[in-house]
Structure 1
Amino acid sequence: MFRPLLPLRDRTVAVSGAAGSLGQALLRRFDGQGARLIGLTSQTSPLSIAGSSGAPIPLRSVQWRCGEEQALGALLEQVDILVINHGVNSFGDRSAGAVERSLEVNALSAWRLVELFLSLPERPAGSPARELWVNTSEAEILPAVSPLYEISKRLLGQLLSLRALDCSGANPCRIRRLVLGPFRSGLNPYGVMGADFVAGQVIAQARRHLGLIIVTPNPLTYALMPLVTALRHGYFRLTSRA
């Protein structure tokens, strides 16, 4: 049966890591769909993003830091779609400080935002559900030439799979997993894809109601990721409880 595309016009969308390459590209794409935008960023100066015309896009810039997720509670009550996209890449650094920072930013901070957003009241039945989009990255299952990035993203992916088991209700929050291959950014200057292309693909797949959104030139990911998530879902359902 044909399903109409996911409506984005007039929906409030918040994106973490908004100052990064993908964060900015996503916000531009959401703006093109008529969404109301909130950029979550750790930078101290207000975020300003130029649209295709060169003029700044309408955007509410909100400063926050990892560890202060609870302070976003009142703001997130206004949000229809939360995109968790922030992260760090320590590359080859394996020092204790790099371990702590990678786990905190890439996994634990994201997990706290997941829990906070999923704890919010459901939207009324018959209206569009809240949505949670989480960028776990292709590093969730494949090497990224950065051990700590891989470890932290795999932890986030597993926590997301575990938490998704409890999403139920009349109109539960819809979780979408973003599995993205290498794109050019501050975290990966050698990426083969452009951030704008990736953002366009993410939104196009989400509008077609895909829960597992994959954007990568690597065919292995398209074969392995659905299998991994299905097996993990079954294992967690059998071996855990709420």
Structure 2
Amino acid sequence: MAELVYPPVIGAAHTLFRALDIRIDMKGTENIPRKGGAVLVSNHIGYLDFIFAGLTARPQKRLVRFMAKESVFRHKVSGPLMRAMKHIPVDRKQGEAAYQHALDSLRSGEIIGVFPEATISQSFTLKSFKSGAARMAQEAGVPLIPVALWGTQRLWTKGRPKDLKRSHIPVTMRVGEPLEAPADQYAGAITRRLRERVQELLDAAQAAYPAKPKGPEDSWWLPAHLGGTAPTAAQVKEAG
């Protein structure tokens, strides 16, 4: 079936990013398979992460169907677009239908995008990973593709006003080699290896990032362990 909406939306995103002079540094896209199913797994630091994570598949001419919370599909603007792009709504109280939908899509050769932290990390460090991505890859017999994003939190993230003016914000993306998910292995062990891979990619993306905070007030987007003023994971948890 022809993709009537997804490619134009990607084109619009590229146009917007050029207008905002967002400087994208993307490496490792050759690790996205040219055909066949795969579970693309990314860290989650901002509201636009699905757009940037999806862009990593475009050099291989692939589209990513993301699993996203159902409320996004009920929004009057994003809802019709999300449905037309064949993303998958997730009702957290009844997740089995979304899981089966994703599994069927993987078996038919689609790439499914997952944020295994489930919510945006306000510390900008990796949270614990849910095991659903590993279990899907195991059941469908497809690889996991680890991805790390950095800089997207500066555009729009939880608890901060969005910055979509022409501010020349860099965004760094790294795609790792596929990780196999054998059916006879414990999903928890695969999930731990997956998180380690994403952490390695995140470290590399942060090391390559060309910008630094302009001063103490601008260091909110940098994690505490890198000298920034973002709350630690413990502080986020304590704040509830």
Taking structure 1 as the reference length, the TM-score comes to 0.40
Q: Specify which structure has the bigger relative contact order, considering alpha-carbon pairs within 8 angstroms and separated by 6 or more residues.
A: 2
Taking structure 2 as the reference length, the TM-score comes to 0.41
